[in-house]
Amino acid sequence: MIVVGVSPQKDWGGTHYLETFKEYEYPGPVYPVNPKYEGEEIHGYKVFGSISSLPDDPPIDLGIVAVPAKVTPQIVEELGQKGVLFAHIFSSGYSELGEEGKQLEQQLLEEAKKNHIRILGPNCMGIYNPKHRIAFTHRLPLVSGPVAFISQSGGNVYRHAYAAFVKGYHFSKMVSLGNQIDLDLIDFLNYFRTDPETKVISMYVENIRRSGNEFVQLLKETTKEKPVIIWKGGKLEAGHSAVMSHTGSLAGDITLWKSMARQTGVILVNNFKELIEMIQTCLLYKIPNNLGTAIITGGGGPAVELTDECEAFGLKVPRITEKSQKMIKDFIPEVNSNLSNPFEFGANGGHENMIKVMKILDKEPHISSIIMTNRPEWYSSEKLNMEEVVKSLANTISQDSNKNLISIYSSFGVRKDTVDVINEFYSKTRENGIIVYDSAQAAAKSIHRLWSYGNYLKNRGNKIN
Amino acid sequence: MIVVGVSPQKDWGGTHYLETFKEYEYPGPVYPVNPKYEGEEIHGYKVFGSISSLPDDPPIDLGIVAVPAKVTPQIVEELGQKGVLFAHIFSSGYSELGEEGKQLEQQLLEEAKKNHIRILGPNCMGIYNPKHRIAFTHRLPLVSGPVAFISQSGGNVYRHAYAAFVKGYHFSKMVSLGNQIDLDLIDFLNYFRTDPETKVISMYVENIRRSGNEFVQLLKETTKEKPVIIWKGGKLEAGHSAVMSHTGSLAGDITLWKSMARQTGVILVNNFKELIEMIQTCLLYKIPNNLGTAIITGGGGPAVELTDECEAFGLKVPRITEKSQKMIKDFIPEVNSNLSNPFEFGANGGHENMIKVMKILDKEPHISSIIMTNRPEWYSSEKLNMEEVVKSLANTISQDSNKNLISIYSSFGVRKDTVDVINEFYSKTRENGIIVYDSAQAAAKSIHRLWSYGNYLKNRGNKIN
């Protein structure tokens, strides 16, 4: 690993990469380069005065370049001469600033081609590969997982890394693309398509640099194998101009992206929150057979709200069969309850009745999703064992019923004394295959999207689940 | 206060009301009634054996009835005979269960008319009036505020009471309507229209019992005076059936409600979260002159997302004037920044530059909303004084510019060590007239709705702000 552009005085830019290699105990050689500080040590690594003076053995694959934009073509040339295969250009100040920067990109690309080196960026954070101890910032877990993330925004790789940590999923690799003058979205999509460590591919995309047909073809090949979730940034007028300034590119029309998604089975989402929810959904849930949803909650008003929200975002809340209704009436009185879906138990609720109802719902053919509302604070105040409660809920769904059990928990503020019990609830539900969404809307959007993906696969004759 | 139907063995129903009168130190007489426990004490109140045996002086206004539904007509008769003016029927088991329950409601109404007593409910939680120490549950603050809430769901009055407490606003009065066989939505709307303590009227409505024209006329009269926010429950097919089971009524078509809102200036919202956000918005913000929005954030990807979300929900993100752009370029370099809106400062950010930019934006005529993203954890880790930071942000907006300063803070999990700093941020922003929304979407929806309300008022020739 070569890092060009480091300084003992600042802890960002190239120096920040040094710091992360140190923190993650990157096992290969790390060579900081800056003639000004030749011979000094930064974060325990000895600084070299030039690229040409670096040891030739072992050969180095990647150079991280964090010097002023104008100098980057020369550095790329030197890295190429040294036999380095890839240059990640961290520096910014290119096409995102206008014509002059565009010419600089052209120059950079020419040097790269001449010297047989491929470029990631410029204007990007680079890669996160937990298995190989490479990351772009501190305190990320060195745990590999099934999710790939390709992002045209460095800010979004940061956010995603931290959010995933909280939500409990991990990455095979993350890559921040920046201005994509050489290696681009399509190169990485193609890589992740066959990467055995990657089960779900997610992206933040502002634009594509190559022909739409090539992208569509590749997406079709990929979605057969694994779900591809795309969050398209720069959807409308001002969003376009924000993209222009961000990565110097033109954002495509969102209607084109929607039609592309329909053709290819891509799952389109609208924002960061939806991206995270969709990834969790793809990781934990089976593709539902149908849109039928059962709703179980404690009060009439909330039951109406959950039903409204599910229906507004594409799910159906059908009545259950007469037979099942009768079975439920056997043990729950009708007063203050609604026993045909949505299920609203009022004072007749309680954990045991809920379990009984869920076991009956598990046999309903027109239901694929069972949505319950939970209040972890209540389990705690009742001194129930959280692990047992969550397990007993999860166990109501049999292995072969192909149903997903979904939890909704929303709160309007945080209290110090309930943080632990809430976090325990999140982790126990996750362990038991249950996602906790913060609203019925969030659940409905994700489940509907998963169903649409399944529908696409079925129509193409592909196997699902 | 008379409470009919109490028991020393259970802590819900009528007994729960006794408990709350005790907790809130309700200053008037409280008479529990149950022949079974005559002479005993419950929560410190002596139980009477019959309504007729209660003292005649002072006269009692309200009787709370929590006995089996079948007995309620007789109790209402007795209350009427005693000269009580209002009966709140807590009991359920009426039209929400079908034909038999409907007849019971009819009987109840006849008794009420015959005996000159008005009925609230049945099947409802009743009222919350902090000023007069009346509430339907524990631990609500005895603090009056400017918000009225009328709800056809008891569950939603509970949720609203707790959520408002967290969000820092208070109620003039809350009323849970239940099946509305006598006193209904229109009666209470009419009351709150002229109630000097009420500045914002909010409602959860499933249906109306009287003619739509009467409702529309009253709404038109009311919105001239104060904003009316309606959350309509039971919007689509299954939502309708959930409403039927909930309060025994038919939900009206949502398209009719939308057209009604356009005619009357009512602010329609879709769910509980939007209701709460809209109330905060009406309480803290000025009606904006236009939809122009400035966005200030730290990174390119987030800037694109905020812009997309604002535009998707009706706001505009225009470029600012050349003059202002020049002023900003004087102190922020262009590299890694976007200086024409959305504003993205990257490494050039920092609190002081942000303040300078906001002061320039305060003079922009086409901007009414300034949206910033904040991370309270960062203020804390930088050891900044939260109060000073928030004040310095709030002070960038001059009194006469009619602009709203908006904060977005979203997080994907809670950590015990940051709860305090986050809650401090919420309270300091509130004190300084800033609302913290959890997403740009939430902010955009609320601001757009407030603007629409202002537009309605302007078109009708009413004064705004």
Encoding tokens for residue A413? Answer: 């503020």
Look at A239 and B410 and tell me if their CB atoms are within 8 Å.
no
Chain A residues lying within 8 Å of B151, measured CB to CB: 301
Look at B97 and A335 and tell me if their CB atoms are within 8 Å.
yes
Q: How many CB atoms lie within 10 A of CB B143?
A: 11
Nearest to B298 among A155, A235, A238 (CB): A155
Look at A242 and B304 and tell me if their CB atoms are within 8 Å.
yes
Indicate the residue type of A133. R
Determine the residue of chain B that is closest to A204 in CA distance: B301
Residues A359-378: what's their mean pLDDT? 94
Kindly report the average pLDDT of chain A as a whole number.
92
φ, ψ of residue B33 to 5 degrees: the values are -130, 125
The answer on pLDDT for A184 being more than 80 is yes
pLDDT digits (tens, 9 = 90+) for A298-327: 888 899 999 999 999 999 999 999 999 999
Strand partners, B292: B316
Q: Quick one: which of A387, A388, A460 has its CA closest to A428? A: A387
Look at B342 and A238 and tell me if their CB atoms are within 8 Å.
yes
In three-state secondary structure terms, A261 is helix
**Torsion on CA atoms A353, A356, A362, A368, rounded to nearest 10:** 0
State how far the Cα of A121 lies from the Cα of A24, in Å rounded to an integer. 23
What pLDDT does residue B255 have?
85
Look at A307 and B239 and tell me if their CB atoms are within 8 Å.
yes
Encoding tokens for residue B338? Answer: 């976007």
Look at B423 and A413 and tell me if their CB atoms are within 8 Å.
yes
Look at A439 and B273 and tell me if their CB atoms are within 8 Å.
yes
The answer on pLDDT for A241 being more than 70 is no
Chain B residues lying within 8 Å of A272, measured CB to CB: 305
What pLDDT does residue A98 have?
82
Q: Report cis status (omega within 30 of 0) of the bond before B29.
A: no
In three-state secondary structure terms, B39 is coil
Encoding tokens for residue B398? Answer: 């001059």
Q: How many CB atoms lie within 10 A of CB B213?
A: 8
Indicate the residue type of A204. Y
State how far the Cα of A24 lies from the Cα of A21, in Å rounded to an integer. 5
- ipTM field: 0.92
H or E segment at B191?
helix B185-194
Determine the residue of chain A that is closest to B306 in CA distance: A239
Residue A272: pLDDT band with limits 50, 70, 90: very high
φ, ψ of residue A54 to 5 degrees: the values are -70, 150
Most A-contacting residue of B308, B424, B445 (CB-CB within 10 A), to test interface: B308
The answer on pLDDT for A47 being more than 70 is yes
State how far the Cα of A54 lies from the Cα of A82, in Å rounded to an integer. 9
Nearest to A97 among B97, B312, B335 (CB): B335
Q: Is the dihedral of CA B434, B440, B446, B450 positive or negative?
A: positive
Look at B439 and A271 and tell me if their CB atoms are within 8 Å.
yes
Kindly report the average pLDDT of chain B as a whole number.
92
Q: Quick one: which of B183, B266, B238 has its CA closest to B449? A: B266
Contact B240, B277 (CB under 8 A): no
Burial class (CB in 10 A: 0-12, 13-18, 19+), B316: middle
Total count of residues recorded for chain B: 465
Contact A286, A246 (CB under 8 A): no
Angle at A206 between CA A200 and CA A209, to 5 degrees: 95
Question: How high is the mean pLDDT in each 10-residue block of chain B (465 residues)?
Answer: 90 91 95 96 96 94 95 97 97 87 95 97 95 92 96 92 94 96 97 98 92 92 97 77 62 82 96 98 97 92 93 94 91 73 74 90 96 91 92 95 96 89 96 97 98 96 81
Q: Give all strands of the β-sheet with A62-65 in edge-to-edge order.
A: A31-33, A2-4, A62-65, A86-89, A118-120
Report percent pLDDT > 70 for chain B: 94
Determine the residue of chain A that is closest to B164 in CA distance: A412
Indicate the residue type of B360. I
Chain B residues lying within 8 Å of A311, measured CB to CB: 235-239
State how far the Cα of A402 lies from the Cα of A365, in Å rounded to an integer. 10
State how far the Cα of A238 lies from the Cα of B307, in Å rounded to an integer. 7
Most A-contacting residue of B304, B334, B412 (CB-CB within 10 A), to test interface: B304
Q: Quick one: which of A262, A250, A147 has its CA closest to A205? A: A250
